Structure 1
Amino acid sequence: MADATYTPPEVWTHDAENGGRFANINRPTAGAREQQQLPVGEHDFQLYSLATPNGVKATVMFEELLEAGYADAEYDAWTINIGEGHQFGSGFVDLNPNSKIPTLLDRSGKEPVRVFESGAILMHLAEKFGAFLPTDHSRAEVLSWLFWQVGSAPFIGGGFGHFYAYAPEKYEYPINRYAMETKRLFDVADQRLAQTEFLGGQDYTIADIATFPWLAPFVFGGIYGEARTFLSIHEYENVERWVQQIAARPAVRRGRIVNKAWGEEDEQLLERHSAADFAGKKY
């Protein structure tokens, strides 16, 4: 049955009372809403994030670098509670005018460098350390899959996730529209992973680090309620093989709990300043 017809007004205006779950923070304007300095630790890399799929990309990347022996990749990770609007503090906005996590401050060079957008952070770190991004002919393939993920995430999160799980009312058309696109994206990945071990080829790269946090929760059933059943995620056997393989990596297991602010307390690590912070945690 079709949803009730909506006729857009001639000029759109913001209705804060009809914004759903995130109405308290969503506005059609950018910029800082309050003066708020960011904490700063001792390491060259300062990460401001939350363990959402996009945030997990950055923490997994750091943990993978450390696991691979790049000691200079030590980092401080600070939790930015986006539900409470911490991303609109002046200190955060100075680093990321788009007010999204994750955001990185790299102080390893002569001048501090801000890096925002998760894909940019992965590329920045991969190029700085010469890891998880090939320099031969396969580089283009890896970057293609990286940008495929970055471009696809809004369809899964702001599209399917929003209308299926977060919207104040359920509407058939947008749920169907974004369920179809989410399943198509899973099929793209599934067909690719039927041909190769990893998305970029036979090596684990930033393409996998970027994509894993978005696809894995559907495989494990930990995102958007009953989405795993609703989307028949069990059909994508190659994706599941790939997810299980990556989920077993020690660095991934650690990275997934950094800046996590929900669930069991022993599965959360709100701040991360050294490897010792994982002591007593389940990951």
Structure 2
Amino acid sequence: MSTTTNGTSTVPAEAERIRHILVSRQDTPQRPGAVSASLTYGWRALLKIKHVPEQLFDVTIFPIMMTVMMTYVFGGSIGAAVSGQEAGGDAVGAYVQWLIPGIFAQTLVMITMYTGLTLNRDISKGVFDRFRSLPVWRPAQLVGALLGDQVRYTLAGVIILVVGFIMGFRPAGGLPGVLAAFLMLLVFSFCLSWVWTTVALLMRTEQAAMGVSMFIMMPLTFVSNIFAPTESMPGPVRAFAEANPVSTLVGCIREFMDGVYDIGSITAVLIYCAVLVVIFGPISMFVYNRKS
């Protein structure tokens, strides 16, 4: 209760002490750093998987389905062309050694697309309007979402490798080659995700984002060296496939799994990664900062 002396209101000492505590700088929480904020948003992405586990369908069932279908439906004929053997069991076995690194790359590259779709869904629900009002590093929301998806990529990669080993895949490079390929693929997937982030921010609906993403993704994955050597393709298609960054990535992964560490291939993939981030990272932030 306040007291009055000569017409002047005097705040009791206890109230003054409480006010001092509330406004004291040393008691004000420090603003989170860029790394801390990004990891927090990454953890949010993982919690969404925990509460909606069915969204893992694309990283569990899809890899198995693609690997089995491509091997046992098309493996005999394509494998014969790749290995120069007659169609049959031997051709399928040889094709498994060729296909698994390609499917390994294709699966992770394709599920990066869902990063943008999830982001678009959050934006349409108004969640990111609240995030942008918080006093945190502005790109943390986007970077955190991409970091959280690394867990999904890792899970999909492990599934592909397990299925491949069951089907007879035996990488000559052993465990070091497989780990090097895995690391390279995770780096490329993170960088490629910025493309879908840009698409998600530009499109007004999730359906539109899906349509544009598939329009870009299909030629990237199917007009490449994932399923067949580029040498077997006609001129213009071969030129596109050889310039395709996914073909460069798959070639590097096959080399890793064969125990070959070619500096030229590694450098080419890292250059593609840098170009993707340098171009689409700033575009994503530009659109994100101005999105109403």
Q: TM-score, normalised by structure 2?
A: 0.27
Question: Could you tell me the TM-score, scaled by structure 1's length?
Answer: 0.28
Name the structure where strand makes up a greater proportion of residues.
1
Which is greater in Rg? 2
